[in-house]
Amino acid sequence: MPEDIPITIEPRWPAALALLSVGGLHWALPSELTAGPDWLVFALVAVLAIPATILHHRGNWRLSQCLGYAATVVVTLSVGSSLALLIARLPTHKDSPAQLLLSASALWVCNLLVFACWYWRLDAGGPHQRALRRSHTDGAFLFPQMVLDPDLRKEMGEDQWRPGFIDYLFLAFNTSTAFSPTDVPVLSRWAKVLMMVQASISLATIAILAARAVNIL
C-alpha cells in the first residue's frame, strides 16, 4: 500500500456534535448574554457544520474544511461575546447566584469544546492531512504514543496511531481544569498561545464568575 494512502478516515461527526453542543448551550443562556436572537448561533452552526460533515463523506474535503472553519469561528466569537457580557453585568448585581453559576458552567463547557475543535482542526495540518499519513509522528502536541519505540508501537498495535477528536478534547479538558497540559507537552508557538487563551478564559469563568456567585449566596 502506498505511503500516502489513508488507512482510516477520521469521522467528522464528533467535531460537528461538539459545535452543535456549543450552539445549544449558547441558546440556553439568558437572552442578556447573547448578541442577537438566542437561536442564532445554533442555527448558524447547524447550517455550516452539518453540510460540512456531509460534504466530507462525499469527498469534497476542501469545501468541508472551509465550512468547518466558519462554524468554529462562529462559536468562538459567540462564547467570547457572552463571556464579556457576563463579566460586564457583574457590577450591576442584576443576576441571581443560581443564574451566574449556570451561565458560568455553560460557558466553561463551551470554552472546552471550542478549543478542542481548534486543536483538532489545526494540529499537523488538520484531520484530512493527518489521515493521509500512516502514523502521527509530528505536530503541535507531543502525545505519549509519539515517543514510544517504533518496535514497541508495532507490538502494541499502535504503529498506525493518529490522534482523534477525543484526544484533543482530553487535552482541552486538562487545560481548562489544571490550566496546563498534563501528559501532552506543547511544541508549537501557536498552540501555546491558544492554550494560554483557553486557560485564561477558564480561569476567568471559574475564579471570577463562580466565586462571585458563591460569595453572594
Domain spans of the chain? 13-215
Round the average pLDDT of the chain to a whole number and report it. 84
CB-based contact 143:51 (threshold 8 Å): no
What confidence tens digit (pLDDT) does each residue in 73-107 have?
Answer: 999 999 999 988 888 887 777 777 778 888 888 99
Q: What is the pLDDT of residue 90?
A: 78
Q: Is 165 exposed, middle or buried (0-12, 13-18, 19+ CB in 10 A)?
A: buried
CA–CA distance, 165 with 146 (Å, rounded to integer): 16
Q: What's the confidence (pLDDT) of residue 117?
A: 95
Residue 16 φ/ψ, nearest 5 degrees: -65, -40
Residue 25 pLDDT: 94
3-state secondary structure of 87: helix
- pLDDT band (50, 70, 90) for residue 120: very high
Task: Answer yes or no: are the C-beta atoms of 41 and 23 closer than 8 Å.
Answer: yes
Assign 166 a pLDDT band (cuts: 50, 70, 90). very high
pLDDT digits (tens, 9 = 90+) for 10-21: 677 888 999 999
Q: Length of the chain in residues, anyone?
A: 217
Supply the pLDDT for residue 144: 80
